[in-house]
Amino acid sequence: MGQLLCLPEPEVTQAPPPKVSVDLQEDVLPTGEETLVFKTLAAALASAAANIDAIKAYTGCSDAIRTATSSPSLEAENAVWRRLTPAIAQLYTFYNYSLQLNDAFQKTLHFFALSPDAIADSLERHQATAKKAADILFFAHKFDELKMLNTDCQNDLAHYRRSLQKTRLVGGGGGPRQLISDEIANSMSMFFAQPAPMLSGIISACKLMSIKGSSRDSNAKTLSLLAAIRTYVKLIQANGGPLTLTLMNGLRFSTAHLNDENTPANIKDYVNDV
């Protein structure tokens, strides 16, 4: 009936991590005390499937850009811009959705951090919320997997920014119009430059929360319980099947401190050698 979420103790020990029984079926109902955070997560996830379909269908503007680059003309540039306009709008949708998920996951982290000495018990008592949190992480992994296979996202955004800059340099009034603010374009550029942007955004949001929040210690403990690198690797090795390489790449590219100097060499080898 359910799956097992393995959570290690914060200290590194030889004892196996406790196993928390969490029902990952769709029909898990929230308890009264988790209703508010559950509704927040459900609302955030309402657009998940549409965003997955959109990134799958994203074809980009690379062919029009190549034509405009190899044979420059006003007609070619206009053709690029007709393609770029809906493309940039779609990329902004992805970026904005990431911000929504970040906010929802922060609320989830805060909810579970309210019981810092009983995280495992809290997960078992609030299984509906735990399931939705798992759904967010699953979506982030799936989206990032598809984004890694599509270089058009970053290339389209780069061409959009170059075109605007070129228009400004020549003082052209008839050039392409600005679709998003420079500040948002810069943030989007950094977002899509990451190999795993959705998951990286969630990680950054959690780190920011642990720095800002009054419950910093509780948040840090919650995250340390969830950061089970060895456990995840073993689960992937045992159950990953044809997705093993993709799942391991997700760990390699989104683990914030994997390549830090003070990260034990055996942990680095454990992740990178699979």
104 and 203 belong to one structural domain: yes
Q: 245: exposed, middle or buried (C-beta count within 10 Å: 0-12, 13-18, 19+)?
A: exposed
Is residue 163, in this structure, part of any structural domain at all?
A: yes
Is residue 22, in this structure, part of any structural domain at all?
A: no
d(CA 156, CA 83): 10
Q: 157: exposed, middle or buried (C-beta count within 10 Å: 0-12, 13-18, 19+)?
A: buried
Reference 20, options 113, 117, 127, 108; nearest CA is 127
Q: How confident is the model at residue 175 (pLDDT cuts 50, 70, 90)?
A: low
257 and 218 belong to one structural domain: no
37 and 96 belong to one structural domain: yes
138 and 218 belong to one structural domain: yes
Domain endpoint, select from 208, 224, 240: 224
d(CA 13, CA 2): 27
219 and 235 belong to one structural domain: no
Per-residue pLDDT reduced to its tens digit, 56-71? 999 999 999 999 889 8
Rounded to the nearest angstrom, the gap between the alpha carbon of residue 202 and the centroid of all alpha carbons in its chain is 6
Per-residue pLDDT reduced to its tens digit, 197-238? 999 898 888 777 655 554 566 666 666 655 567 777 777 778
Structural domains counted in the chain: 2
191 and 244 belong to one structural domain: no
> Residue 235 belongs to what domain range?
228-274
38 and 140 belong to one structural domain: yes
d(CA 233, CA 242): 15
d(CA 150, CA 59): 8
Reference 60, options 124, 146, 2; nearest CA is 146
Helices 216-226/197-212 angle, 10° precision: 150
Is residue 18, in this structure, part of any structural domain at all?
A: no
194 and 251 belong to one structural domain: no
Q: Does the predicted TM-score (pTM) go above 0.85?
A: no
103 and 139 belong to one structural domain: yes
Six-digit token string for 3: 């799956």
In the block, residue with structure tokens 């929504």: 100
Give strand pairing partners of 4. Answer: 21
Rounded to the nearest angstrom, the gap between the alpha carbon of residue 44 and the centroid of all alpha carbons in its chain is 13
161 and 247 belong to one structural domain: no
d(CA 191, CA 40): 23
Is residue 15, in this structure, part of any structural domain at all?
A: no
Q: How confident is the model at residue 19 (pLDDT cuts 50, 70, 90)?
A: low
Domain endpoint, select from 184, 201, 224: 224
179 and 274 belong to one structural domain: no
Is residue 111, in this structure, part of any structural domain at all?
A: yes
Is residue 17, in this structure, part of any structural domain at all?
A: no
Is residue 119, in this structure, part of any structural domain at all?
A: yes
Is residue 3, in this structure, part of any structural domain at all?
A: no
217 and 197 belong to one structural domain: yes
> Can you give the pLDDT at residue 158?
92
> Can you give the pLDDT at residue 256?
67
